[in-house]
Amino acid sequence: MIALVLGEEPATPFSPALILRKLIDKMQEIDALMLSASQQRKSRAGSSFEFHIEALLKDGSVPFEKQVVIESRKRPDFILPTFKYLRNQPIEQAAGLILSAKTTLRERWKQVQGEMGDSELFLATVDETIAGNAIEEMDAMGIVLVVPEKLKAPGSDAAKAAEYRGHANVLSFREFFDELRRNRMPDWSKP
């Protein structure tokens, strides 16, 4: 950013007034640079979040496929156990599911609704700022949130700030993985 404002090799000493003038003149370029840096940070955070979820699934021996194109332009983060199982679920066996990951939700959680189809959708997030009415809207759409334990733990400061407790469609990561291992994975491994 300094090179953007002062040039690659400033030849003369700059006064505060001259630097301020250059900052004003270059405001549009500075704004674009800062926006780009912010977007890169968010992209890295999202990729990191997906990587951590993938590691949890692998370490827990949970079968999954990642970034499978299920229809045109629909590519959920994870399908459990496989896309084939999800589309041709054996009768009387535990349902397959879609697991999507978003570090922050805002209104972006509505995007994942298109990934659902007829499948159960679990939406993992670390966002602490979701309003209760949005959680209820997700519940009405059949979306189950998966959040860190600290956001649901009684007495934790994070849980006090978040509105996740008291909603049936909100699971901690521990509850989510317990559900998978206890009630779904035994059926997923049957022929």
Tell me if 160 is assigned to some domain: yes
Residues 127, 130, 135, 138, CA torsion sign: negative
CB of 152 within 8 A of CB of 170? yes
Tell me if 151 is assigned to some domain: yes
DSSP, res 94: P
Number of neighbours of residue 172 by Cβ within 10 angstroms: 18
Number of domains in the chain: 1
Two tokens at 139? 């519940």
Tell me if 80 is assigned to some domain: yes
Per-residue pLDDT tens digits of the chain, which is 191 residues long: 666 666 666 666 777 777 777 777 777 877 776 776 666 665 555 578 899 999 999 999 999 999 888 776 778 899 999 999 988 887 888 889 999 999 888 777 777 766 667 788 999 999 888 888 889 999 998 999 999 988 887 777 665 666 787 889 999 999 999 999 999 999 888 76
Tell me if 165 is assigned to some domain: yes
Give the integer Cα–Cα distance in Å for 94 and 183. 7
Tell me if 21 is assigned to some domain: no
Q: What pLDDT sits at residue 10? A: 62
Give the integer Cα–Cα distance in Å for 60 and 103. 21
- Specify the CATH number for the domain of residue 157: 3.40.91.80
Tell me if 173 is assigned to some domain: yes
Tell me if 20 is assigned to some domain: no
Give the integer Cα–Cα distance in Å for 92 and 111. 30
User: Does the predicted model carry a pTM greater than 0.95?
Assistant: no
Provide the residue range defining the domain that includes 108. 46-188
Tell me if 26 is assigned to some domain: no
